Structure 1
Amino acid sequence: MTEPLRRRRPPAVVARRFAGSAVIFTVLAVVSVATVVPMIWMIFTSLKSPAEYLVNSWFWPRDPQWSAYLTLFTEKNFGRYFLNSTAVTVPAVAAILLIGAMAAYGLVISSRRARDRTLMYFVIGQMIPVTGIIAPLYLMLRGADLINNYAGLILAYIAGAMSFTVFLTYGFFRAVPPEIAEAAAIDGAGRLRTFWSIYLPLGAPGLATVGIFQFLSVWNDILLVILIMQRNELQTLNVAVFQAVGEYGTDVPALFAGLTVAALPVVIVYLLFTRQFVAGLTAGATKG
């Protein structure tokens, strides 16, 4: 017997689907151009001299040069600011992920009543903006002698990120089948061993997603750095770039070179954890 012919879709349905695909493609193309073009322009501008920028601000530099980057690291002390940002971001993100994961695991294994009540506190914490607690935060850190101290800045980041981190990580940990933890308990694994050997590996995509969000938040922060780190030599990279904007004149190529240097670690982190990040977003979209 011959295979029955497939039914043809009505022309109206085909036209509707084609129009929908064309609209989606157009929107994605516009968003991509709006995202990529400013980055390309930033890199091109950083390779120009101030004189060339005045006459050729939008196109490929006629004589590409690295003088703006040399100025940053020889005259503007950007090497120290880069190390300051790294010294704050790496331990802050590591502590946020560790403490947040342990708190989320505690919620998973706790009773329903205690879990619901605790989650409500974390939800309320997400509703409070950082600007609403600036004054008490400064007074607490000053009372503890943590102003102009990286420990104070890192503690502020940990406290500010904990609500979001615990709430999101709990969603990934809750998707871990309880049968796996029960089997580990039967084999003699305690709570801590179950956390390290089961929940952390299975929740790695979610932790990678949270880690990227927190890395972006901490690395790009300006407000808390200005508030807590008041000495110039303790400032981070983004604050140094922000301060490079002069009142009467700005070296635009050097400014854009600083922006490029500040954006480079973000791009590297995203490229390194793209697979885990996409897996985490997919899991969050498909699991309740």
Structure 2
Amino acid sequence: MTTMTTELAHESRLTRERRRWNVERIAVHAVLLAFVALALGPILIVILNSLKTTPAIFGGPFALPTAETFSLAGYERVLTRGNFLLNYRNSLIVTLASVVLTVGLSTLAAFALVEYRVRFVPLLAGLFIVGVMLPIRLGTIPLIQIMIGLKLMDTLWALILVYTAMSIPLGVTLMMTYFRTVPTELKEAARVDGASEFRTFSIILPLVRPGLAAVATVTMLPIWNDLWFPLILAPGKANQTVTLGVQQFVGQFLNDYPALLAALTLGALPLVVLFTIFSRQFIRGLSAGYGK
């Protein structure tokens, strides 16, 4: 009798714990769904209203487009009066070049800082960490003077060089954590077999691919979304990026709400797509890198 009572009490306790766990899980998912709705709601509202006429926008801003209210006139005005194709090309060139340079230089620098035990390595590593904490916008005036001296003002190269310099400190700091996890025996075996330093580097590079993806993603998103340096260093129409093009288009068509919302949609859409594609690699690589 005592044994049966004990088993019933144990089963009852397990049932209560399981029920409490289910309630907690439902509560956590509800909170997460609320945050998702809070984050995606404004984006969806902008996209939906960009597909409607001006009276429909004011008559029902939260309503879906219908056969009577649906209109692509805003996108037509954006594509015919704006320079979005040129802006997209410039942003693509600047972003890809900056990402490639940042990943390549950060990986080589991190490998050297981890492998070569010399006196000034801790100092260099500390300088890179300081570079992560200090915003590069504090040096805008010296950067302008440097670009004027190099005759690079109002060129895409000015943006590429600044973005690369801005992203390298975080890239080096992140890649160093990955190179430290590579087994020392693997590198020693490669050197014993006669491999050069560059060959050793190429052998261990596949082991740090999550870090490469994290550095590329961390670099790509802020560069595409930046407005400050395109406005300062490359304001000319021929070198405008998407963000700057959207900002100037908004100023010209402030009362044309379909065109205004269409421009905002075209400016934000690539950023959303890029983050959706690389979000898994970004979260996995970044969390693993900082957790090591």
Give the TM-score normalised by structure 1: 0.88
Amino acid at match of 1:51: P
Matched, 1:246 2:246: no
More displaced stretch, 272-281 vs 102-111: 272-281
Which residue of structure 2 aligns with residue 233 of structure 1? 238
Task: Label 1:273 to 1:248 Cα distance change in 2 as closer, same or farther (>3 A).
Answer: closer
* CA distance in structure 1 between the aligned counterparts of 2:17 and 2:139, rounded to whole angstroms: 55
Which residue of structure 2 aligns with residue 215 of structure 1? 220
Which residue of structure 1 aligns with residue 105 of structure 2? 99
Which residue of structure 2 aligns with residue 176 of structure 1? 182
Which residue of structure 2 aligns with residue 79 of structure 1? 85
Which residue of structure 2 aligns with residue 28 of structure 1? 32
1:205-233 Cα distance to aligned partner (Å, 9 max, x none) = 11111211111111001000101012133
Instruction: Indicate conservation of the 8 Å contact 1:244/1:250, yes or no.
Output: no
Which residue of structure 2 aligns with residue 124 of structure 1? 130
* CA distance in structure 1 between the aligned counterparts of 2:278 and 2:221, rounded to whole angstroms: 13
**Unmatched segments (≥5 aa) in structure 1:** none
**Unmatched segments (≥5 aa) in structure 2:** 1-6
* CA distance in structure 1 between the aligned counterparts of 2:61 and 2:250, rounded to whole angstroms: 18
Amino acid at match of 1:133: G
1:220-255 Cα distance to aligned partner (Å, 9 max, x none) = 010001010121332111111112233893323222
* CA distance in structure 1 between the aligned counterparts of 2:95 and 2:103, rounded to whole angstroms: 12
Which residue of structure 2 aligns with residue 142 of structure 1? 148
1:87-132 Cα distance to aligned partner (Å, 9 max, x none) = 2111111111111111111111121643322111111112211231
Which residue of structure 2 aligns with residue 133 of structure 1? 139
More displaced stretch, 244-253 vs 67-76: 244-253
Question: 1:155 Cα shift?
Answer: 0.5
More displaced stretch, 85-94 vs 122-131: 122-131
* CA distance in structure 1 between the aligned counterparts of 2:94 and 2:218, rounded to whole angstroms: 16
Amino acid at match of 1:43: I
Amino acid at match of 1:85: S
SS in 1 for 2:230: helix
SS in 2 for 1:244: helix
Task: Label 1:184 to 1:265 Cα distance change in 2 as closer, same or farther (>3 A).
Answer: farther
* CA distance in structure 2 between the aligned counterparts of 1:105 and 1:215, rounded to whole angstroms: 22
Instruction: Indicate conservation of the 8 Å contact 2:158/2:234, yes or no.
Output: no
* CA distance in structure 2 between the aligned counterparts of 1:198 and 1:83, rounded to whole angstroms: 35
Instruction: Indicate conservation of the 8 Å contact 1:148/1:231, yes or no.
Output: yes
* CA distance in structure 1 between the aligned counterparts of 2:125 and 2:55, rounded to whole angstroms: 57
Q: Which runs of 4+ in 1 moved over 6 A?
A: none
1:52-97 Cα distance to aligned partner (Å, 9 max, x none) = 2232222111232322222222111211111111121111111111
Matched, 1:59 2:63: yes
Q: Which has the larger radius of gyration?
A: 2
Amino acid at match of 1:268: V
More displaced stretch, 96-105 vs 71-80: 71-80
Which residue of structure 1 aligns with residue 210 of structure 2? 205
SS in 2 for 1:198: helix
Give the TM-score normalised by structure 2: 0.87
* CA distance in structure 2 between the aligned counterparts of 1:256 and 1:248, rounded to whole angstroms: 10
Task: Label 1:251 to 1:195 Cα distance change in 2 as closer, same or farther (>3 A).
Answer: farther
Question: 1:133 Cα shift?
Answer: 0.9
Which residue of structure 2 aligns with residue 110 of structure 1? 116
Task: Label 1:265 to 1:123 Cα distance change in 2 as closer, same or farther (>3 A).
Answer: same
